[in-house]
Chain A
Amino acid sequence: SQQGEEDPQALSIQEGENATMNCSYKTSINNLQWYRQNSGRGLVHLILIRSNEREKHSGRLRVTLDTSKKSSSLLITASRAADTASYFCATQAALEYGNKLVFGAGTILRVKS
């Protein structure tokens, strides 16, 4: 069963606006990661936040993690047309051998220019 569930399934915004995507998960985690997938391509790692962290920034990306609610959010500020892609959260469970990741179904982001 999937660990991460993402919301919304699809998001359409204008260039320059902010985009927020949410992820919920079910079990204890070591870390939560966000990946981006451009159409027809493999996934690219964006950012990782550990279970003892609450917020992390990387360029225009801001990720928050609330372990009490088992949820995370990804904020992309000042979006660009090039940000159009699918975004996936992935969790790495605590005490999980093999560093396995469990992915959510993803959010499709479209940024209109």
Chain B
Amino acid sequence: DAGITQSPRHKVTETGTPVTLRCHQTENHRYMYWYRQDPGHGLRLIHYSYGVKDTDKGEVSDGYSVSRSKTEDFLLTLESATSSQTSVYFCAIGERGGKAETQYFGPGTRLLVL
């Protein structure tokens, strides 16, 4: 596996509480991504980062915020968790190579919002 870790790996929380998920990479890749995976939807992009302090929204960004203060860390925050945010969250990293790029994924975080 590429040097990507996610923490925590599992979390159970209650509706209305804040939750922060961490993605850490040791590959020094410029691009980092947060996805959520739900049955029947594949992976959907929440937010991504193209450098330190440079982030942008993805397809399903409502209710989520991100921060990247260091190249190696990308944080995903649910300000006030809702049951609809119960999902598996994956972090990915990538580096620009010519016109193409592949992404390398972390092991995922299972989040249950009660």
Give A residues with C-beta under 8 Å from B. Answer: 1-2, 4, 30-31, 33, 35, 40-45, 48, 50, 88, 90, 92, 97-106
In whole angstroms, what is the CA distance A106 to B63 when docked? 25
Contact across chains for B106 and A92 when beta carbons are under 8 A apart:
no
Give B residues with C-beta under 8 Å from A. Answer: 1, 4, 31, 33, 35, 40-45, 48, 50, 56, 58-59, 90, 92, 94, 96, 99-108
Contacts of A40 in B (CB 8 A): 108
In whole angstroms, what is the CA distance A65 to B104 when docked? 23
Contact across chains for A41 and B107 when beta carbons are under 8 A apart:
yes
What residue in chain A is nearest B97 (Cβ atoms)?
A99
Contacts of B58 in A (CB 8 A): 100
What residue in chain B is nearest A1 (Cβ atoms)?
B59
Contacts of B41 in A (CB 8 A): 2, 105
A9 → chain B closest CB, angstroms: 9
Contact across chains for B104 and A45 when beta carbons are under 8 A apart:
yes
B107 → chain A closest CB, angstroms: 5
Q: Could you show 22 A-B contacts with beta carbons less than 8 Å apart?
A: A4-B42, A35-B105, A40-B108, A41-B107, A41-B108, A42-B107, A43-B90, A43-B105, A44-B105, A45-B102, A45-B103, A45-B104, A88-B42, A92-B100, A97-B56, A98-B56, A99-B101, A100-B48, A102-B59, A103-B43, A104-B42, A106-B42
In whole angstroms, what is the CA distance A50 to B33 when docked? 22
Contacts of B4 in A (CB 8 A): 42
B81 → chain A closest CB, angstroms: 22
In whole angstroms, what is the CA distance A103 to B36 when docked? 11
Contacts of B104 in A (CB 8 A): 45
Given known A-B contacts A100-B45, A105-B42, A50 and B99 have beta carbons under 8 A apart: yes
Contacts of B44 in A (CB 8 A): 2, 103
| Given A43-B103, A97-B50, A99-B94, 7 additional A-B pairs, CB 8 A | A1-B59, A42-B90, A88-B42, A99-B96, A102-B59, A104-B42, A105-B41
